[in-house]
Amino acid sequence: MSSLLAPALADGVRLHADGLPGLVETNLEASQAWLAIGGRPALLYAYNNRVPGSALEARPGEILRINFKNSLPEDTNLHFHGLHVPPIGNADNAFLMIPPGESYTYEVSIPVNHPAGTFWIHPHIHGKTARQVSRGLALPLLIRGDLDQIPAIGRAPESVLVLQDFNLDASGYPVEPLGPALIQGREGSLITTNGLVNPSIPITAGGLVRLHLVNASSSRFYLLQMEHHPLIQIASSGGGLASSRSLDQLLLAPGERVQVIITGSLAAGSYRLLALPYAQTGMGMMGSRTVSGAPATVLATLIYEGHETSPVGMPGSLVPVTRLPAPARVRTFVLGQGMGRGMGASMTSFTINGLTFDPTRVDTSVRLGDVEDWEFINASMMDHPMHIHTNPFQIVNGNGDAENAWRDIVTVPASGRVKIRMQFLDYIGKTFYHCHILDHEDLGMMAVLAINS
List 396's β-bridge partners, or say none.
402
- Rounded to a whole number of angstroms, the minimum distance from the CB of residue 82 to Cu ion is 18
- Rounded to a whole number of angstroms, the minimum distance from the CB of residue 449 to Cu ion is 17
Alpha carbon 30 to chain centroid, angstroms: 19
443 binds Cu ion (CB under 5 A): no
The DSSP bridge pattern shows strands 417-423 and 393-395 to be antiparallel
Alpha carbon 405 to chain centroid, angstroms: 16
Of 334, 346, 327, the C-alpha closest to 421 is: 327
162 binds Cu ion (CB under 5 A): no
438 binds Cu ion (CB under 5 A): no
352 binds Cu ion (CB under 5 A): no
Among 250, 430, 440, 443, binds Cu ion (CB under 5 A): 440
**Which CB, 96 or 252, lies closer to Cu ion?**
252
Cis peptide, bond prior to residue 100, ω within 30 of zero: no
**Which CB, 156 or 437, lies closer to Cu ion?**
437
The DSSP call for residue 9 is B
Which helix or strand (DSSP H or E) is residue 418 part of?
strand 417-423
Of 174, 163, 212, the C-alpha closest to 6 is: 212
Give the range of 283-291, 304-312, 411-419, 434-442 binding Cu ion by CB under 5 A. Answer: 434-442
Cα angle 15, 117, 108 (rounded to 5 degrees) comes to 45
Question: How many angstroms separate the CA atoms of 421 and 357, rounded?
Answer: 23
List 448's β-bridge partners, or say none.
432
- Rounded to a whole number of angstroms, the minimum distance from the CB of residue 416 to Cu ion is 13
Question: How many angstroms separate the CA atoms of 417 and 9, rounded?
Answer: 39
**Which CB, 99 or 287, lies closer to Cu ion?**
287
Among 161, 250, 437, 446, binds Cu ion (CB under 5 A): 437
183 binds Cu ion (CB under 5 A): no
**Which CB, 183 or 196, lies closer to Cu ion?**
183
Query: Hey, CA dihedral for 430, 435, 437, 438, is it positive or negative?
Result: negative
Among left, alpha and beta (phi > 0; psi -120 to 50; other), residue 237 is: alpha
List 160's β-bridge partners, or say none.
212
135 binds Cu ion (CB under 5 A): no
- Rounded to a whole number of angstroms, the minimum distance from the CB of residue 412 to Cu ion is 8
**Which CB, 84 or 384, lies closer to Cu ion?**
384
- Rounded to a whole number of angstroms, the minimum distance from the CB of residue 445 to Cu ion is 5
Among left, alpha and beta (phi > 0; psi -120 to 50; other), residue 269 is: left
Ranges assigned E (strand) in 293-354: 297-307, 329-339, 348-352
Q: 130: helix, coil or strand?
A: helix
Half-sphere exposure (CA, 13 Å, Cβ side) for 404?
11
Ranges assigned E (strand) in 134-249: 139-143, 158-166, 190-193, 200-205, 208-215, 222-226, 231-236, 239-247
Polymer length of the chain? 453
The footprint of Cu ion on residues 374-403 (CB under 5 A) is 384
182 binds Cu ion (CB under 5 A): no
Give the range of 62-70, 97-105, 391-399, 428-436 binding Cu ion by CB under 5 A. Answer: 428-436
Give the range of 123-131, 215-223, 298-306, 430-438 binding Cu ion by CB under 5 A. Answer: 430-438
299 binds Cu ion (CB under 5 A): no
Question: How many angstroms separate the CA atoms of 206 and 273, rounded?
Answer: 19
Among 435, 447, 448, 451, binds Cu ion (CB under 5 A): 435
Q: Contact letters (x/-) for Cu ion, 320-349, by CB under 5 A?
A: ------------------------------
How many residues touch Cu ion under the rule CB under 5 A: the total is 4
421 binds Cu ion (CB under 5 A): no
- Rounded to a whole number of angstroms, the minimum distance from the CB of residue 168 to Cu ion is 24
220 binds Cu ion (CB under 5 A): no
- Rounded to a whole number of angstroms, the minimum distance from the CB of residue 393 to Cu ion is 17
Give the range of 13-21, 190-198, 356-364, 438-446 binding Cu ion by CB under 5 A. Answer: 438-446
**Which CB, 302 or 435, lies closer to Cu ion?**
435
Give the range of 124-132, 201-209, 246-254, 436-444 binding Cu ion by CB under 5 A. Answer: 436-444
Give the range of 197-205, 237-245, 388-396, 431-439 binding Cu ion by CB under 5 A. Answer: 431-439
- Rounded to a whole number of angstroms, the minimum distance from the CB of residue 437 to Cu ion is 4
Residues near Cu ion (CB under 5 A) = 384, 435, 437, 440
